[in-house]
Amino acid sequence: MDWKNNRVIIGVVVLVVLIGVTVWAFRSRPADTPVEDDDEAVASLPEVDKEQVTSLEVHLPGEDGETIRLEKRDGTWWVTAPVEAEADQTVVGTALDKLAEMDVQRVAATNAENHARLEVDAEAGLRVIAKAGDEVLTDVWLGSFGGGATMVRREGEDAVLAVDGSIKFAFNKPVKDWRNRRVLDVPPTDVTRIAFESEGATWRFERNAEDQWALADGQAEIERFAPAKVQSAVASLARMRAVDFAAPAVTAEQAGLGEGAAVARLTVRRRPEGEEAEGEGEGEGEGEGEGEGEGEEAEGEEAEEQPAPPVETDEVVLRVGNESGEGQFYLQREGDDTIFVVSRFLADKVKVTAESFQQPEEGEEPEAPEPPPGAGMPGMPGMPGGGQGNIPPEVMRQIQQQLQKQGAPSPH
């Protein structure tokens, strides 16, 4: 065969073979583009009524990922594993909202070979199981976030769905973030007296008739006494939140919460059930429909002064012990076995000295406020990079709501 005379034919054959190989490779590659949405069986997720959910099971990513279980008891959510503790109702509520609001945009992939890339496999995915009693309401894997959507896969299925919004952040939390970190939550205005015991000394303060903080009877004078310093301490302690919890093996004695611990004793006014704000409903309907004679008769009578009912109070005792880590201390509330971990800022509101209640001398730097939770941290769980620019809008709104609850400034 004279190949020189047939080189055109040979070239055409080679070209056809190459085209055939290319088409075969394209058609046989794993699907990673949207498919037709008319297949409702593939492009759908079970509808979840959050009011019916009685238990949640969250499997964090990775072979060593923690499994967190939560259970609803008498209307209150509890963490049941790996520890037994009251849950943060707001955190659980946010997670349930995310399950109930899943809106499928499209099918992102139908081939199991895409699971690792989309982070919905057993290694990188986060699995969530919600039940109503023994009935499984939903069992899904939550994966990567991008383009305004979260990758979601139903357990046992290959199809990966793109669901509107950021979802994974609501579940990708260590157990401490599911727990109720509230140490104390009372209105600071309800604290009528406070006493500190620290380093062998005692300082006692009470609200005076003008509702200002003053030295209690018998308390030694404090040079350059600043009532605002007492108010600052009361405001911080009345709304105290922990940053973590002691390890289960840590005892109160090991944490330094026994003899010698710094103590704050708050006397808190007990609000009567259903107490209304001052002035609410005052004078409504008084004198309407009454005869003139009755009104005139009342004018001449001296109103009898009724003695004010006694104010019932409760005492809250907080103890601060050893340093648990850099810039953090163990703390316990009397009557509660939980050992909390709080920031140095809050610990210093209990571990006081006379200088803690003094006006700064001229030239001294004023006390720096406590930084908002998470400030200066390189990243946040479930969000790569951790910078504010990477945080989806709905996540930022959630952060702002949490900071507002704790009285900290919101990030902008």
pLDDT at 93: 97
- 184 or 27, which is more confident: 184
Range 43-69 average pLDDT: 93
The CA distances from residue 162 to 34, 35, 257, 382, 394, in Å, are: 9, 12, 50, 17, 17
The mean per-residue pLDDT over the stretch 340-347 comes to 97
Backbone φ and ψ of 28, nearest 5°: -95, -5
Q: CATH topology for 181-272+310-370?
A: Immunoglobulin-like (2.60.40)
pLDDT greater than 50 at residue 208: yes
Higher pLDDT, 165 or 276: 165
For the chain, what are the domain ranges? 50-178, 181-272+310-370, 374-412
Query: Are residues 320 and 351 in contact, defined by beta-carbon separation less than 8 angstroms?
Result: yes
pLDDT of residue 5: 57
Q: What confidence score (pLDDT) does residue 44 get?
A: 86
pTM of the entire predicted model: 0.71
Percent of the chain with pLDDT over 70: 69
Least confident of 9-13, 108-112, 185-189: 9-13
Cβ(364)–Cβ(373) below 8 Å: no
Helix (H, G, I), strand (E, B) or coil at 74: coil
Give 272's pLDDT tier (boundaries 50, 70, 90).
Answer: confident
Measure the CA angle with vertex 222, ends 344 and 321; round to 5°: 25
Q: How confident is the model at residue 63 (pLDDT cuts 50, 70, 90)?
A: confident
Beta bridge partners of 128: 58, 140
Q: Which two tokens stand for residue 211?
A: 């509702």
User: Does 280 have pLDDT greater than 50?
Assistant: no
Q: Which residues lie closer than 8 Å to 95 by C-beta, 6 or more apart?
A: 56, 128, 170, 171
Beta bridge partners of 141: 127, 153
Confidence of residue 115 (pLDDT cuts 50, 70, 90): very high
| Kind and range of the H or E run holding 106 | strand 104-109
pLDDT digits (tens, 9 = 90+) for 139-149: 999 999 999 99
Nearest 5°: the CA angle 135, 82, 116 is 70
In degrees rounded to 5, what are phi and psi of residue 109? -165, 155
The percent of residues in the chain predicted with pLDDT above 90, rounded, is 64
147-203, pLDDT tens digit by residue? 999 999 999 999 999 999 999 999 999 999 999 999 999 999 999 999 999 999 999
Give 309 or 180, the one with higher predicted confidence: 180
3-state secondary structure of 380: strand
* CA atoms of 146 and 157, how far apart (whole Å): 21
